Amino acid sequence: MGKIFAINDLRRGLAATGGHAPASSLLPGQDRLDTLGRPLRDLRISVTDRCNFRCSYCMPKEVFDNQHAFLPQTALLSFEEITRLAGLFANAGARKLRLTGGEPLLRKNLEHLVEMLAALRTPDGEPLDLTLTTNGSILARKAVALKAAGLKRLTVSLDAIDDAVFRRMNDVDFAVEDVLAGIDAALAAGLAPVKVNMVVKKGTNDDQIVPLTRALQARYGSAVVLRFIEFMDVGSTNGWRLDDVLPSQEVLARLRESGPLTALPATAQGETAQRWRFDATGQEIGLVSSVTQAFCGSCNRARLSTDGQLYLCLFATHGHDLRALLRGGADDAAIAAAIDHLWAGRDDRYSALRGAATPPLDGRPTPADERRVEMHYIGG
Ligand code: SAM
């Protein structure tokens, strides 16, 4: 770093500087490292805070009912604003962009944004790895347009193969078969491989681990990679209890009853999932263990909320207002300096600290924290 900032300024982030960060001496493409030596590689962009599902672990119906005030249209970053920021993040080291939400496919004309982001290049002239996370509900209608716009691949969330369990979990009576039709359409359009995320909640859908694994293997072979996500204490509305977390090691033990698996090496630095492959079929699965085996040490992700707040951790309690800079007329150099400044001060490692403070997995809830940001607003 060419500049030394007062430690308090870094802690308080952009607000401490009155919105104007000191000019950055870093060049485009030069690695930005945070206080723990972690580079910036991955930008997750929430394009809407709305979703058509009401999964109890994410947007429970009782909280997100028709009285809930979602963001007004004017608060949302426009496609031009998102693209401008994404370009600056690419200069700061981002190599991967993930569109998320809320349900990203609910954002009108999302394929236009995909097209704009697909045209971005890294300082080395490479395209960015452009992907999307969706609940799959309208994917069957959108897959061809998304592929044509330049989307490379995508992740579909699916928490059960049993229709009754799935309908209960999404809490809007949406059928499994309609999500599978979305995956079919994505593969047919050439969006491959498709990753499927299953959030495992003990006592709710853990009996789906083996059936979902088998069903996806039977229907898609190696074109779909299933990943099991530990139920996380994101946000403050999902009633999270440690008791409801099924540790990834138990997921693995249950899968082993179907046959031996071999661990695979990580494909990318900072990868969230530990990869495994069934010896007999070659089917790959992933385990995302953010509760029981925190991976903060390699976390290279930044998150941009629907209304342009930058969050440096999924479990953050506050963001940094990049929209104010955009709409206040800041030039690219000023916004780039703000991004560099914020990343340089990043010291978040919530899951590692939670792990250290958490009692053994004996069902006791962890102490209440400050109110954390909701996941549908900053994206998964
Ligand atoms: N609507 C899209 C979807 O369903 O994939 C994108 C947004 S959603 C917030 C992104 C991912 O976060 C989904 O795979 C969802 O299952 C996961 N998720 C939400 N709340 C979670 C929690 N408490 N623990 C673990 N994963 C969670």
Model confidence pLDDT, tens digit, residues 9-58: 444 567 666 667 888 888 888 899 999 999 999 999 999 999 999 999 99
Q: How far is the CA of 58 from the centre of ligand 1 (A)?
A: 7
Tens-place pLDDT, residues 201-252: 999 999 999 999 999 999 999 999 999 999 998 888 888 999 999 999 999 9
Position 367 confidence tier, pLDDT thresholds 50, 70, 90 = very low
Gap between the Cα atoms of 127 and 124, Å rounded: 9
Q: What's the confidence (pLDDT) of residue 107?
A: 98
pLDDT per residue as tens digits for the range 282-313: 999 999 998 999 889 999 999 999 999 999 99
CA 233 to centroid of ligand 1, rounded, Å: 12
Ligand 1: centre distance to CA 93 (Å): 25
- What separation in Å is there between the alpha carbon of 55 and the centre of ligand 1? 9
Cis peptide before 123 (omega within 30 of 0): no
> CB of 199 closer than 6 A to ligand 1?
yes
Given a cut of 50, whether residue 103 has pLDDT beyond it is yes
Ligand 1 pocket member 197 (CB < 6 A)? yes
Q: Is 56 in the pocket of ligand 1 (CB under 6 A)?
A: no
Is the CB of residue 89 less than 8 Å from the CB of residue 45? no
Q: How many C-beta atoms lie closer than 10 Å to residue 123's C-beta?
A: 13
Report whether residue 51 contacts ligand 1, using a CB cutoff of 6 Å: yes
Q: Among positive and negative, which fits the CA dihedral 142, 143, 148, 151?
A: positive
Find the 289 Cα to ligand 1 centroid distance in Å: 14
**Contact 133 CB / ligand 1 (< 6 Å):** yes
Q: What count of other Cβ atoms lies within 10 Å of the Cβ of residue 315? A: 22
Q: Is 54 a pocket residue for ligand 1 (Cβ < 6 Å)?
A: no
Quote the pLDDT of residue 288: 96
CA distance 142 to 148: 10
Question: Which atom of ligand 1 sits closest to the CA of residue 101?
Answer: 7
Site to probe by mutation for ligand 1, drawn from 183, 226, 229 as the one with most ligand atoms within 8 Å of Cβ, is 229
**Does 105 contact ligand 1 (Cβ within 6 A)?**
no
Question: What residue owns the CA closest to ligand 1's atom 1?
Answer: 103
How many angstroms does the Cα of residue 195 sit away from the middle of ligand 1? 13
**8-state DSSP, 16:** G
Query: Is pLDDT at 320 greater than 70 in this prediction?
Result: yes
